[in-house]
């Protein structure tokens, strides 16, 4: 027997379900039996099937130094990551990207893996030093040829290439002149970006200037955990950030000038994903303020063309030096914003703070994936695009990275049953679906990563792939999470 349900609660439930499913108008006037059937179908479907919009772009992401190998081939110049990874003590286990997943030679096999998954998008990055071995000067045709081959292979497999121009592998020759401490690096980056736009935009329709500005500045120049391994003082660090966002802005302008009409330009940013500790109006407001302030020197200045007052006040004498003209360049309009989302930043309303919020540090028991920094909070994939959309109304959003590390091992049958990664992905994607069903314009999702690869200072010890890589034989084995992702793509709803 169907459980008793009052007319009023039925109407309420129906309106909730209709929000997700668009029931026929007038459904509430149907007779009781039909009502119950409609409700059951609607609620069942609403809770079980989470359809993504038709044409939603499912993809995967990788980055040049993390997968290519071939570091001395095709005229490639040295980068800060070659230097850093070959410096004893900098990378776990002494690992380097010299070979990695050897995608410089095996890109066809990798594209075939993508095709088998049903991917429609591939985010990859160009190694600046393959194109300009010393960062500036004469372009290197062999380097360009490699990316032409990759792009053609993707297009031939029905996969849209999304090209990132800087995913941290700065040419060493530029670091020798100060790297991101030197404003000339921002100009050199724009020249290189413009050059690539001219060469690829006949086939590549979406470019991202930089990947995670916060990561390469903080880890590279503030705490020295990543290349170039420096720890500059607070004022110099603020200037590094300023030069980096200026490089982004200059490259947007260079790309506008060099690319074919209709080319879309954005970036892949790891804006801190501020999430309200409780979903009440006061904490949600706090998360919104937090999104602006926590990211003041990165996404906020890029979207607004100015630093927030609170940021400049907080830095005081260490604030960056800048001109109005530079702010205008930094704020150059974008066609889309890409968000890399891994962990939540929990935020609460706090009236004792001038800015009105504070960040809540997790208790010691807070769960994380294999990487200790990767705390779990599926809501990050709801609130990050939701708040970015509310604050800055970008025309389009992409999730340019999301994924996790897991202690993957091959079992006796040669499988990797990464149930924790499946759990992570299913829960995060459920929250992404929630954002999209509220009309946040997220157009695609790039899972990090297609393959296990060189995880920066963690070397090969932290696997993020949905494909297991045996680094001795280069054998690729799709994990359980690959099956999950493949089924999700095939159904266009969470498997
Ligand atoms: C991102 N953290 O890096 C990068 O874009 C990828 O290259 C990387 O492999 C991936 O996420 C997984 O780590 C991050 O310490 C590195 O918070 C470190 C942090 C966040 C992102």
Domain range annotation of the chain: 55-491
Confidence category of residue 4, pLDDT binned at 50, 70, 90: very low
Give the closest residue (by CA) to ligand 1 atom 7: 63
- Is the predicted pLDDT of residue 105 greater than 60, yes or no? yes
**Cβ(195)–Cβ(92) under 8 Å?**
no
Confidence category of residue 231, pLDDT binned at 50, 70, 90: very high
Mean pLDDT of 399-415: 98
401 lines ligand 1 (CB under 6 A): yes
CATH code: domain 55-491 is 3.20.20.80
pLDDT top residue among 4 and 402 = 402
pLDDT digits (tens, 9 = 90+) for 372-386: 999 999 999 999 999
Catalytic residue among 212, 288, 326, 379: 212
Annotated active-site residue 212? The verdict is yes
Q: Which atom of ligand 1 is nearest to the CA of 448?
A: 10
Confidence category of residue 47, pLDDT binned at 50, 70, 90: low
**pLDDT at position 48:** 72
Confidence category of residue 273, pLDDT binned at 50, 70, 90: very high
pLDDT digits (tens, 9 = 90+) for 303-328: 999 999 999 999 999 999 999 999 99
CA of 427 to the centre of ligand 1 (A): 20
**At a CB cut-off of 8 Å and minimum separation 6, what does 403 contact?**
342, 421, 424, 425, 447, 448, 449, 464, 466
- Is the predicted pLDDT of residue 9 greater than 60, yes or no? no
User: Can you tell me the distance from the alpha carbon of 338 to that of 412, in angstroms, rounded to the nearest whole number?
Assistant: 39
CA of 405 to the centre of ligand 1 (A): 10
373 lines ligand 1 (CB under 6 A): yes
Burial class (CB in 10 A: 0-12, 13-18, 19+), 206: buried
Phi (first) and psi of residue 9, to 5 degrees: -70, -30
Annotated active-site residue 288? The verdict is no
Mutation to probe ligand 1, out of 66, 456, 464 (largest number of atoms < 8 A from CB): 456
Q: Which atom of ligand 1 is nearest to the CA of 343?
A: 17
End-to-end alpha carbon distance in the chain:
30
Q: Which atom of ligand 1 is nearest to the CA of 211?
A: 5
- Is the predicted pLDDT of residue 40 greater than 90, yes or no? no
CA of 45 to the centre of ligand 1 (A): 35
pLDDT top residue among 312 and 28 = 312
Nearest-Å Rg of the Cα atoms of the chain is 23
pLDDT digits (tens, 9 = 90+) for 193-204: 999 999 999 999
CA of 167 to the centre of ligand 1 (A): 11
Residue-averaged pLDDT of the chain: 93
Alpha helices in 231-353 (DSSP H): 234-258, 281-294, 301-304, 309-315, 324-330
**pLDDT at position 42:** 52
Mean pLDDT of 334-343: 99
pLDDT digits (tens, 9 = 90+) for 428-462: 999 999 999 999 999 999 999 999 999 999 999 99
169 lines ligand 1 (CB under 6 A): no
CA of 71 to the centre of ligand 1 (A): 21
Handedness of CA 189, 190, 191, 196 (dihedral sign): positive
pLDDT digits (tens, 9 = 90+) for 54-93: 999 999 999 999 999 999 999 999 999 999 999 999 999 9
User: Residue 132 region, left (φ>0) first, then alpha (ψ -120 to 50), else beta?
Assistant: beta
User: Can you tell me the distance from the alpha carbon of 208 to that of 219, in angstroms, rounded to the nearest whole number?
Assistant: 21
pLDDT digits (tens, 9 = 90+) for 158-195: 999 999 999 999 999 999 999 999 999 999 999 999 99
244 lines ligand 1 (CB under 6 A): no
């Amino acid at each position: 027997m169907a459980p008793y349900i009052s007319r009023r609660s039925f109407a309420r439930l129906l309106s909730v379900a209709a929000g997700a499913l668009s029931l026929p108008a007038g459904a509430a006037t149907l007779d009781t039996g039909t009502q119950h059937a409609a409700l059951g179908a609607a609620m069942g479907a609403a809770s079980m099937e989470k359809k993504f919009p038709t044409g939603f772009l499912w993809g995967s992401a990788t980055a040049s130094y993390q997968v290519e190998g071939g570091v001395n081939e095709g005229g490639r110049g040295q980068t800060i990551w070659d230097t850093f990874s070959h410096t004893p003590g900098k990378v776990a286990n002494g690992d380097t990207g010299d070979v990695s997943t050897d995608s410089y030679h095996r890109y066809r096999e990798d594209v075939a893996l993508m095709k088998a998954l049903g991917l429609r998008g591939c985010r990859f990055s160009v190694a600046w030093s393959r194109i300009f071995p010393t960062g500036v000067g004469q372009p290197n045709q062999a380097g360009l040829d490699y990316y032409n081959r990759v792009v053609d292979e993707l297009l031939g497999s029905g996969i849209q290439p999304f090209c990132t121009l800087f995913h941290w592998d700065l040419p060493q020759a530029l670091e020798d002149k100060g790297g991101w401490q030197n404003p000339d690096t921002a100009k050199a980056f724009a020249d290189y970006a413009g050059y690539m736009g001219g060469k690829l935009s006949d086939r590549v329709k979406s470019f991202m200037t930089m990947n995670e500005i916060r990561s390469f500045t903080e880890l590279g120049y503030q705490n020295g955990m990543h290349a170039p391994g420096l720890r500059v003082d607070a004022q110099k660090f603020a200037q590094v950030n300023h030069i980096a966002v200026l490089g982004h802005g200059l490259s947007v302008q260079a790309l506008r000038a060099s690319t074919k009409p209709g080319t879309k330009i954005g970036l892949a940013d790891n804006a801190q994903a501020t999430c309200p500790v409780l979903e009440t109006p006061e904490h949600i407001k706090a998360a919104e303020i937090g999104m602006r302030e926590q990211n003041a020197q990165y996404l906020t200045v890029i979207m607004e063309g100015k630093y927030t007052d609170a940021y400049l006040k907080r830095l005081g004498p260490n604030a960056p030096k800048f001109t109005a003209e530079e702010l205008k360049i930094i704020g150059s309009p974008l066609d889309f914003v890409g968000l890399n989302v891994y962990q939540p930043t929990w935020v609460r309303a706090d009236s004792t703070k001038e800015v009105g919020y504070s960040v809540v540090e997790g208790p010691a028991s807070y769960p994380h994936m294999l990487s200790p920094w990767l705390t779990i909070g599926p809501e990050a994939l709801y609130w990050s695009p939701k708040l970015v959309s509310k604050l800055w109304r970008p025309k389009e959003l992409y999730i340019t990275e999301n994924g996790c590390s897991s202690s993957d091992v091959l079992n006796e049958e040669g499988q990797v049953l990464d149930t924790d990664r499946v759990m992570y992905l299913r829960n995060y994607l459920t929250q992404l679906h929630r954002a999209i069903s509220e009309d946040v314009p997220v157009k695609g999702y790039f899972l990090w990563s297609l393959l296990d690869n060189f995880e920066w200072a963690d070397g090969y010890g932290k696997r993020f792939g949905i494909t297991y890589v045996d680094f001795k034989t280069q054998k690729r084995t799709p994990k359980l999470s690959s099956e999950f992702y493949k089924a999700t793509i095939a159904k266009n709803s969470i498997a």
